[in-house]
Amino acid sequence: MIAVRALVVLVVSMIAAAASAQELGRDYTRLTLPQAPGAPAKVEVLEFFSWGCSHCAEMHPLITEWEKQLPANAVVVKVPISLGHREWGQLVRAYYALEAMGELQRLDGAVFDAIHKERQLLFTEDRIAQWVAAQGVNEQKFRAEFNSTNVSTKASRAEQLAHDYRVNQTPQLAVDGKYIVRGQTHADSLAIARQLIDKAAAERKGG
């Protein structure tokens, strides 16, 4: 565990060291129709992802450490999406159900591990509910949240965001409602996103 964390910290350090001037069209694109950020007081970085995505599982420890090093004027918001996959749609509902129960932070990484390391098929309500129960979550309450109007509303909103941002892959980063990151690697994407945060902050100030 210590070795893994050390590797993550090393990669994040490399991200900072490798950052250079970013080029429109090569490193990022600009949305034709900018979106209003959900956190207008800060530069918002959206991470479109799925627990079912192996690339997102690889990104998870990197962006977790990267987020800790962001300036106070920036915030990361995770957006679980399905990209049309029914199984991933169940994971979207699970994400918001755990969030409503205050269990998301504790189990976020564990879900990735269960699916991609332990090869558990957590793609139906029953399978997911059984798994969260084994993690100490009240299964009855989880199922109630999973099928609630609140979760349905949030899941629909997430899918609409993916449509508005023209997302066609995961993980995908978007900055301040207008920039879409086009990194070649996870480290590259995070380096680009970091510079776009500063760019967006400067633009807000008229710089």
CA 169 to CA 143: how far, in whole Å? 29
Please indicate whether residue 177 or residue 10 has the higher confidence score (pLDDT): 177
Domain holding 145, by residue range, is 2-204
In which band, very low, low, confident or very high, does the pLDDT at 38 lie, cut at 50, 70 and 90? confident
In which band, very low, low, confident or very high, does the pLDDT at 50 lie, cut at 50, 70 and 90? very high
Which two structure tokens, joined as six digits, stand for 40?
């207008």
CATH code of residue 140: 3.40.30.10
User: How high is the pLDDT of residue 36?
Assistant: 87
Count of structural domains within the chain: 1
Please indicate whether residue 61 or residue 7 has the higher confidence score (pLDDT): 61
User: How high is the pLDDT of residue 4?
Assistant: 54
Q: How far is the CA of 112 from the CAs of 37, 121, 164, in angstroms? A: 27, 11, 26
Taking only the tens place, the pLDDT of each residue in 155-185 is 999 999 999 999 999 999 999 999 999 988 9
Q: What residues contact 69, with CB distance under 8 A and at least 6 apart?
A: 12, 16
To 10 degrees, what angle do helices 2-18 and 186-204 make?
50
Taking only the tens place, the pLDDT of each residue in 79-112 is 999 999 999 999 999 999 999 999 999 999 999 9
Single-letter code of the amino acid located at 66: W
Please give the average per-residue pLDDT across 49-73, as a whole number: 96
CA 50 to CA 34: how far, in whole Å? 23
User: How high is the pLDDT of residue 24?
Assistant: 63
User: How high is the pLDDT of residue 18?
Assistant: 47
CA 56 to CA 122: how far, in whole Å? 16
Quick check: 137 pLDDT over 80?
Answer: yes
Other CB atoms within 10 Å distance of the CB of residue 10: 11
Quick check: 113 pLDDT over 70?
Answer: yes
Please give the average per-residue pLDDT across 125-134, as a whole number: 98
Q: How far is the CA of 157 from the CAs of 63, 81, 83, 151, 163, in angstroms? A: 23, 10, 13, 10, 10
